[in-house]
Amino acid sequence: MDSRRVIVALDFDDRRAAEALVARLGGACGFYKVGLELLTAAGPDLVRGLVDQGHEVFLDLKLFEIPNSVAGAVRAAGALGASMVTVHSMGGTGIMTAAVDAAREFPGLRVLALTVVTSMTGSDLADIGIGAGTDEQVLRLARLAAEAGCDGVVGSPREAGPLRKLLGPDRLIVTPGVTLAGVTPAGGEVGGHARSGTPWAAFAAGASHVVVGRSVTRAADPVAALRRIGAGRPR
């Protein structure tokens, strides 16, 4: 398996911890996710540094703003050398189209539409006035994302199969919320994902990439945990 289909989430609150993990993983990982927490704590130089080392960066910004602001943020992500950036599909076609248009200046940048965050359940959607269940809402938003020209979507491992059927063979399907069977992160934390699954099941269902966090970053041996995914071995 191409090691760059496995994206390691640098979910840290300081640059030193993130860089220590990157150094420890070495050549075992070529793709990292940087989210709002680390970007706010460490600044954009961290992203530049990862790109300069030859890594790809998934800049998970979940952009949800007026179209002009979204376009500006996408251009900033492209200037940093990011390979992927996320926009929130619940913002509608306008912001997704603005993101896609802005990304055209950067041939290596792919725009992904976040469907329903993996921490949400049907009751959470009901709280904000959405009567559809998570499965239905994910597919509805993915259809909008495709119509807006997004390069792919972000959804949970449980939705990878229906998303692949809907979107066809070419669009990216990136699945966070993956866990490794038999691996408990240090401290026993399993993360805040309500709709999770294993990376192997996600790939089998049609995911193009998986995002793995604590199961690797807080494992006793992060390199071994990451290599298990790449080797396709649940145990």
135-164, pLDDT tens digit by residue? 899 999 999 999 999 999 999 999 999 999
pLDDT, tens digit (0-9, with 9 covering 90-100), for 88-119: 999 999 999 999 999 999 999 999 999 988 88
pTM of the predicted model, to two decimals?
0.90
3-class state of residue 121 by DSSP: coil
Do 132 and 125 form a contact (C-beta atoms < 8 A)? yes
Question: What's the chain's average pLDDT?
Answer: 90
Place of tokens 């492209």: 78
Active site residue 62: yes
Catalytic residue among 5, 15, 48, 62: 62
C-alpha distance from residue 108 to each of 75, 81, 162 (Å): 12, 8, 27
C-beta separation of 156 from 177 below 8 A: yes
For 16-42, the pLDDT digits (tens) are: 999 999 999 999 999 999 999 999 999
The CATH code for residues 3-231 is 3.20.20.70
The DSSP line for 184-199 is --GGG---S-SS-B-H
59 Cβ contact list (under 8 Å, min separation 6) = 34, 39, 47, 77, 80, 82, 84, 85, 86
The tens digit of pLDDT for each residue in 210-220 reads 999 988 999 99
